[in-house]
A and B are shown apart, each in its own frame.
Chain A
Amino acid sequence: MVIKMRLNRTLKENIEGYLFISPALLGVIIFSLGPMIASLILSFMQYDIVNPPRFIGTSNFKALLTDPLFSKALFNTMYYVGGVVPLRLIVALLAAILLNQKIKGVTFYRTAYYLPSVSAGVAISIVWTYVLDPQYGLINSVLRYFGIEGPPWLQSTTWAMPGLILMGTWSIGQPMVIFLAGLQGIPTHLYEAVSIDGGNWWHKFRYVTLPMLTPVIFFNMVMQTIGTFQVFTSVYVMTNGGPMNSTLVYVFYLYQQAFQWLKMGYGSALAWVLFLIIFTLTVLQFRISSLWVYHE
């Protein structure tokens, strides 16, 4: 009798669980799984979009291995991710902490820091072209003030990617807002407890803020990794992959192959290699998370 009851409870819990996640599960099955499987199948085909696909086995994947631009694009992308993700998260966190203070005009400051997210993409590209301009741009003008001759940024094969990384770091709007929400969720009594025990701001930060924020930090880390690996627009608008493919990022290369040159099969193969990389990294992050992420 007891065993039967226990089984029923587990069954009930399972059903409840599935019920709650049913929208998401259905969503994935209807809107994502189908297209994903379709693209996986396409990666074994030659498909020029205009005519039906033709099966060619693993040729696309074999071609990947000997494609110099594939490794270049992958390297460039990892360079970009390695630069932008940590920098962006740190800046976003600092900004969120600053903006969580009780200071005059906090709403103005919050809006100001959030403005990049609402500014027109084309305006951002143009302003950054000005900012990174070797002759009169903001950055080089500031450097010149300190007697340093700034590099030609987007016109140089060495400095184009750092320029894009700078631009990427600057877009903190989304992670910042999420950090802000996370900070809001930290119960104030915890801070009071630290004060009573005689702690200062560093103790508050180290023993309350940071630990309580780890779930959100984890979220931002995972999401930024997934998103940044797929960077596309800034390269598409500002450098077109140049100069000399120094800013050729993975999804841009994919887009060129799949759409511009009508090799959707090869593009799908590229996409799935990227998928495997991102998937592996995400699973890794999840595995390690139990070591440092706090949750109830």
Chain B
Amino acid sequence: MLKWREFVSCILIVLLLIGTESIVLAKTTITWWTLGPREGAEEIKQVYEKKNPDVSVEVLILPSWDDLWKKLMVSVAGGVTPDVVRGKDYWVVDLASRKALLPLDDVIEKNKKEILGMPPERIYTRRIYDLYTYQGRIYALPFHNFWPVLVYNENLFKEAGLRRAPRTFEEFREFGIKLTKPEKKQWGTMLYTYTRLEPTLVLWSFYVYSLQNKAILVKVAKETGEPTFLLDAPESVNTLQWIVDNIYRYKFCTPPEAISPNMIENEKVAMWITGQFSFGGYDRTMPPNVKWAVAPIPTNIEKAIFTEGNALFIPAGTKNKEAAIEFAKFASGKEADLIWSKWSGTMPFRDSNWAKPPYSNMPRYVVSANEMKTYKLVFPQYFPGYTEVMSKVAESLQAAFYNKMSPLDAMKKAQADAASMVKK
């Protein structure tokens, strides 16, 4: 009899404890969709969970931006959105214009110190919010950004008798010609991409050069978010002509037909423009005999760079608004910036993080930092339908790269296409 009563009371006590425990540890779960590397995302999650034991972060790593976008779209259509999404910065304005995102202005206002840094991030972090602003409201927090640098092969430069990287367009051409050796199938330079018909082609194979000629691709009206295109301005046409001449007239920039796999790793290209995102990959896959170094990009009338990156946004349908915002604040913050840069091999986007090694002493990071400090920083202007319009513009640029269209015709067509697409 006694045993029975004891047994029952034991059960009751255990149940009570379990019940209390689950009430006490009632965790909020938020989902975060991002790209790899997984270790970076997991560390951010772990550090955040340690600081906030009542929150559980479910990380979902997607293989590519396209796959993330696909899954996001299907989920939005089905009404089951994640809480925080890391996406390409040019997605933000488009999604915001379709009312898919949570505006974050008040969050930023209330947490100016925490988000913008104290002292405020000097170099560009404050203005970065322009990238995520639509009709006056901000819809994302920055996560990771990069900008163009010139990477060059030191051995090939030495062989050609060159002791430093080119600083101007003239030197770029001059050095490029010296570095081109047809018998070795070696080229002075190559464009970032010839085939991917995406905004990437416009920015990295064209705009990075046209910026130096003070070219503007598009102006976006602040109140309406509507774009006005300036693609056929003389600066843009001249730059495209310069690029095309480098390929077909001065023959030091690889033409599309001569593109081979892995030219960089096999020392078939002497210098090329890329962003800090390449560093991690180069460290892993560059054969040991290849010595690569980083220099500021060559300039012309202007000394300018643009920046591109990823951002954290919160779909409008999320059920855990506060928790999502808190996590986004952390993932966009100083500590997460360092964690992510460590695992991805890129540069932190908060300049206050540049004071610590390796960003303070490794040449590649020092050069990148100096570039950001000394060049004019221009932000790409995003608008609804950006991806589609820029993909169309990329088509015309590609036609010029393939010498199927004169630069003037190409930019005229790009302008006409862009203008008509936005009118609809």
Direct touch of chains A and B (CB < 8 A) = yes
A binding-site residues for B, Cβ under 8 Å: 48-51, 126, 129-130, 133-136, 152, 155-157, 239-245, 256, 259-262
Q: Which residues of B316-375 have CB atoms within 8 Å of chain A's CB atoms?
A: none
Question: Could you say which of A50, A130, A136, A261 contacts B388, with CB atoms under 8 Å apart?
Answer: A261
Q: B260 at the A/B interface (Cβ < 8 Å)?
A: yes
B77 and A242 contact, CB distance less than 8 A: no
Q: Which residues of B contact A136 (CB under 8 A)?
A: 260
Q: Which residues of B contact A155 (CB under 8 A)?
A: 194, 256-259
A156 and B197 contact, CB distance less than 8 A: no
In the complex, the chain A residue whose C-beta lies closest to that of B193 is: A240
The verdict on A134 contacting B73 (CB below 8 Å), with A50-B98, A244-B404, A261-B387 known, is no
> What are 14 A-B pairs at a CB distance below 8 A?
A48-B98, A49-B77, A133-B260, A155-B256, A157-B404, A240-B195, A240-B196, A240-B198, A242-B195, A243-B402, A244-B398, A259-B69, A260-B69, A261-B388
Q: Which residues of B75-125 have CB atoms within 8 Å of chain A's CB atoms?
A: 76-77, 94-95, 98-100
Q: How far is the CA of A49 from the CA of B98 in the complex (A)?
A: 10
B398 and A242 contact, CB distance less than 8 A: yes
Q: Which residues of B contact A261 (CB under 8 A)?
A: 385, 387-388
A242 and B197 contact, CB distance less than 8 A: yes
Q: How far is the CA of A264 from the CA of B95 in the complex (A)?
A: 15
A50 and B258 contact, CB distance less than 8 A: no
Q: How far is the CA of A129 from the CA of B385 in the complex (A)?
A: 32
Q: B160 at the A/B interface (Cβ < 8 Å)?
A: no
A50 and B195 contact, CB distance less than 8 A: no
Q: How far is the CA of A152 from the CA of B77 in the complex (A)?
A: 42
A157 and B402 contact, CB distance less than 8 A: yes
In the complex, the chain A residue whose C-beta lies closest to that of B256 is: A155
A259 and B73 contact, CB distance less than 8 A: yes
Q: How far is the CA of A152 from the CA of B391 in the complex (A)?
A: 24
CB distance from A231 to the nearest CB of B (A): 17
Q: Which residues of B contact A157 (CB under 8 A)?
A: 402, 404
A50 and B76 contact, CB distance less than 8 A: yes
Q: Which of B76, B260, B387 has the most A CB atoms < 10 Å from its CB?
A: B260
CB distance from A140 to the nearest CB of B (A): 11
Q: B308 at the A/B interface (Cβ < 8 Å)?
A: no
Q: Main SS of chain A's interface residues?
A: loop
A50 and B261 contact, CB distance less than 8 A: no
Q: Which residues of B contact A156 (CB under 8 A)?
A: 257
CB distance from B317 to the nearest CB of A (A): 10
Q: Which of A50, A51, A136, A157 has the most B CB atoms < 10 Å from its CB?
A: A50
B398 and A129 contact, CB distance less than 8 A: no
Interface contact tally, CB-CB below 8 A: 72
**How many B residues are at the interface, by size bracket?**
20 to 34
CB distance from B199 to the nearest CB of A (A): 11
Q: Residues 226-260 of chain B: 1 if any A CB is under 8 Å from the residue's CB, otherwise 0?
A: 00000000000000000000000000000011111
A260 and B388 contact, CB distance less than 8 A: yes
B258 and A241 contact, CB distance less than 8 A: no
Q: Which residues of B contact A51 (CB under 8 A)?
A: 98-99
A244 and B76 contact, CB distance less than 8 A: no
Q: Which residues of B contact A50 (CB under 8 A)?
A: 73, 76-77, 95, 98-100
Q: B126 at the A/B interface (Cβ < 8 Å)?
A: no
Q: B395 at the A/B interface (Cβ < 8 Å)?
A: yes
In the complex, the chain B residue whose C-beta lies closest to that of A263 is: B388
B77 and A243 contact, CB distance less than 8 A: no
CB distance from B402 to the nearest CB of A (A): 6
B260 and A240 contact, CB distance less than 8 A: no
Q: B35 at the A/B interface (Cβ < 8 Å)?
A: no
In the complex, the chain B residue whose C-beta lies closest to that of A151 is: B257
Q: Which 7 pairs of residues, A with B, have the shortest CB-CB distance?
A: A152-B257, A261-B388, A50-B98, A50-B100, A135-B260, A155-B256, A155-B257
The verdict on A244 contacting B99 (CB below 8 Å), with A129-B261, A135-B260, A152-B257 known, is no
CB distance from B79 to the nearest CB of A (A): 11
The verdict on A243 contacting B260 (CB below 8 Å), with A50-B100, A157-B402 known, is no
Q: Which residues of A contact B66 (CB under 8 A)?
A: 260
In the complex, the chain A residue whose C-beta lies closest to that of B405 is: A244
CB distance from B393 to the nearest CB of A (A): 14
Q: B164 at the A/B interface (Cβ < 8 Å)?
A: no
B261 and A49 contact, CB distance less than 8 A: no
Q: Which residues of A contact B260 (CB under 8 A)?
A: 133-136
The verdict on A135 contacting B256 (CB below 8 Å), with A244-B398, A245-B395, A260-B387 known, is no
Q: How far is the CA of A171 from the CA of B316 in the complex (A)?
A: 44
CB distance from A251 to the nearest CB of B (A): 14
Q: How far is the CA of A137 from the CA of B398 in the complex (A)?
A: 24
Q: Which of A51, A242, A245 has the most B CB atoms < 10 Å from its CB?
A: A242
**Apart from A152-B257, A239-B195, A261-B388, 4 more pairs, CB < 8 Å:** A133-B261, A243-B194, A259-B70, A261-B385
Q: How far is the CA of A155 from the CA of B404 in the complex (A)?
A: 13
Q: How far is the CA of A245 from the CA of B69 in the complex (A)?
A: 23
